[in-house]
Amino acid sequence: MTHETVLGPLDGNTLKELARVICGDDHLYYRRGFEIAQFLENAGWHKVPEYDGEFRGEWTLQLLMERRENAAELEKVLLRLADAREYLGEPEVLSAVVNAVNGFLVHEGFRLENPGGRPRVVVCDPAMAHPGHQAPIELKATMAEIIRELRMAALLQRRLDEARTCFSNGAHVAAIIMLGSFLEGVLLTVIEERDVSLLNNKDPDFIGLKALIGICHRAGWIDVDMERFSQSLREYRNFVHPRREFHEAHTPDRDTLTVSWYVVNGALNDLAASQPKSDD
C-alpha cells in the first residue's frame, strides 16, 4: 500500500525550527555535522551531500530548503525524528524531541505522534497552539482534589487526556463524546463520595447523565449556568449513536467543542469549590 503524504508546504520559519531540532541544539539530541547527514540518509533521503564543515544549522536548513516543495521528503525527516530507533542510546530523549517539533509544527496544522512506536504526521487544529482556544476558562483544581478515590481519579484523568488527543487531531465529535463520558463519571463518583443517599437507592449503572447533572445542581455542587450547559453537552454526547447525529441539523465543530471545554472546566471548578472540608 502506498503511503499518502498529509504534509503540505512548510513556512520558512518552520524549516528553521526543524533544522534546529535536527541539529539538536537547546539541549535536545545533539548531532555533529556528519551525523546530520547520516540522519537524513536514515530518514530515507537519497543523494545527501557530505558535510562540508559549514555551520551545522545553516547547512541543515539549506538542505531542507532545497526540498521544500517535496512534502514527502520533509515528512520523512519528521517521521525519523519521532522514530525510537534514532535514540537507542538515549530513549528518554524521544518525547522531548517530539514535543519540540509539535511546538512549531502545530502552527502549520500538523503534529507528530508515535502511537505504539509507529511515527506518523497527522492533521491537527492550529488553535491547539493557544491553550485559551481549547479551554475558555482555566481548570483550577486537579482531579485528585475533586475525586478522593485515587484509582478513579487517575482513570478519569486519562479520559480527559484522551479527549484532548481527539481535540488536537480535529476529531470534534469524538472529543465531545469523550467529554460527556468523562463528566458522567465525575458526577456519579462525586455523588457516591459525598452523599450516596441522593441516588435514592437506584442502581448507579442505570442512572443517566441528565439525572446526575440534576442531582449535583440540586445539591448545590454545580451552579445553574453549568447545569444548563451540561445538559447541552449531554445532548451532543448522545451523538455516540450515529442515527442521533444523522437526524440533527448541526454537526459539532471546533466552536461546539470549545463550548464543551468551557462546560467541563466550569463544572469541575464548581465541584472543587463545593468540596466539603476535610475533618483532618
> What are the Cα distances from residue 79, in Å, to 1, 30, 87, 273?
18, 17, 13, 44
Query: How far apart are alpha carbons 67 and 62 in whole angstroms?
Result: 9
Query: How far apart are alpha carbons 172 and 155 in whole angstroms?
Result: 21
pLDDT band at 128 (very low <50, low <70, confident <90, very high): low
Residues 159-181 have a mean pLDDT of: 83
**Nearest C-alpha neighbor of 126 from the set 105, 144, 145:** 105
Q: What is the pLDDT of residues 183-215, one digit of tens each?
A: 999 999 999 999 999 999 999 888 888 889 999
- Whether residue 233 contacts residue 227, with contact meaning beta carbons closer than 8 Å, is answered with no
Q: What is the pLDDT of residues 72-95, one digit of tens each?
A: 999 999 999 999 999 998 888 888
pTM of the model: 0.54
Query: How far apart are alpha carbons 208 and 259 in whole angstroms?
Result: 21
Q: List the CATH code of the domain at 131-273.
A: 1.20.120
pLDDT at 17 over 90: yes
225 is written with which cell numbers? 449556568
In the chain, where the domains are located: 12-124, 131-273
Q: What is the pLDDT of residues 180-190, one digit of tens each?
A: 889 999 999 99
